[in-house]
Amino acid sequence: MGQEPLTYAFSLRSDISELQTLGRRLESIGVDLKLSKRCLFELNLALDELFTNIISYGYGDGHEHRIEVTLQADERMLNVTIEDDGVAFNPVERQAPCLPHSVDDCRVGGLGIHLIRNLMDEVCYRREGQKNILTLKKKIETISSHPYETGA
Amino acid sequence: MDIAEEKQAGVHAFKLKGRLDSNTSLAFEQRLFESITNGTKNVIIDFKELDYISSAGLRVILKATKALKRENGKIMLCAMQDYVKEVFEIAGFDAFLPIVPTLDDARRAL
């Protein structure tokens, strides 16, 4: 026991096409950590929603920015940190949207953040200097720990 | 993402393959709305080979559902991976969107 946690770090340009890079990076980390398809999907979805939010609302200057992503994995938990230098934005303090009863009262605002909060085990926000720092925790589910998944 | 289309007996089926996210949702939205504008009333979206969906994808489905409702049309979703279905459930979309196990089920329901 007491293994050193594995660390993965990469950065993304503030461009929507970088969603592909994010997907590819997470895919290879998923293979490395033997994450179940569901676990990898949920991780990818949470980071996709965050990244898309940051580049949609975080910058108004037309310049290219970098969003830094760090993942640390021990036997049980994934700890993810996302740092950006966009405008201060705390997704944790947003009210959860009311879930719709019919198509007419269904609104899409806040949906991404609602998904993040439901897919992650913990979401924390802090502002440090000019940076938004979001930390996420997710319990690891590996292929072997999931009896119904073959990994095929 | 690849989109295969199939028209049969007044039903327009869209078979999605790959990833439906902010990068690909616009292309899908255009294909869907071209069909609705041309008078399609019954739409099936087949998720069998779709590996990934984000809120951008949910938005397109919601928009199409509203447009079809205005035209007295119908939409059916089918063959989702369990983790894709979970996203619809978390978003609360399963309250008003019919999600069935297979493409045949969807055809029978229209």
User: What is the enclosing helix (H) or strand (E) of B8?
Assistant: strand B2-8
| pLDDT at A152 > cutoff 50 | no
Query: Between residues A152 and B98, which one has the greater pLDDT?
Result: B98
At A70-123, the pLDDT tens digits run 999 998 999 999 999 999 999 888 777 777 878 887 776 788 999 999 999 999
CA distance A119 to B90: 9
Q: Which of B19, B20, B21, B43 to mutate to test the interface with A (most CBs of A within 10 A)?
A: B21
Comparing CB atoms, the residue among B54, B87, B96 nearest residue A106 is: B96
Q: Which of B83, B89, B93 to mutate to test the interface with A (most CBs of A within 10 A)?
A: B83
Mean pLDDT for A67-72 is 98
Averaged over successive runs of 10 residues, the pLDDT of chain B (110 residues) comes to 94 97 96 96 98 96 95 97 96 95 96
Task: Collect all residues of chain A within an 8 Å Cβ-Cβ radius of residue B87.
Answer: 45, 115
Domain ranges of chain B: 2-105
| pLDDT at A148 > cutoff 80 | no
CA distance A24 to chain B (A): 12
In one-letter notation, the amino acid at residue A22 is L
ipTM for the predicted complex comes to 0.93
CA distance A50 to A89: 11
Mean pLDDT of all residues belonging to chain A: 90
Helix segments in B1-110, DSSP class H? 25-37, 55-70, 82-91, 103-109
The superfamily in CATH containing domain B2-105 is STAS domain (3.30.750.24)
CA distance A125 to A129: 13
* CATH number, span A6-139: 3.30.565.10
Q: What is the percent of chain A with per-residue pLDDT over 70, rounded to a whole number?
A: 92
pLDDT value for B99: 98
At A46-61, the pLDDT tens digits run 999 999 999 998 998 8
**Angle in degrees, 0-180, between the axes of helices A18-33 and A37-57, rounded to the nearest 10:** 150
Task: Collect all residues of chain B within an 8 Å Cβ-Cβ radius of residue A102.
Answer: 95-96
Check if the beta carbon of residue A138 is closer than 8 Å to that of residue A78: yes
Check if the beta carbon of residue B54 is closer than 8 Å to that of residue A114: no
B95 to A101: CB separation less than 8 angstroms, yes or no: yes
What are the angstrom distances between the C-alpha of B84 and each of A108, B74, B88? 17, 21, 7
Comparing CB atoms, the residue among A37, A49, A52 nearest residue B83 is: A37
pLDDT value for A94: 75
pLDDT value for A1: 52
> Residue B76 half-sphere exposure, CB side, CA atoms within 13 Å?
19
pLDDT value for A101: 78
| Closest residue in A to B62 (Cα–Cα) | A103
At A12-43, the pLDDT tens digits run 999 999 999 999 999 999 999 999 999 999 99
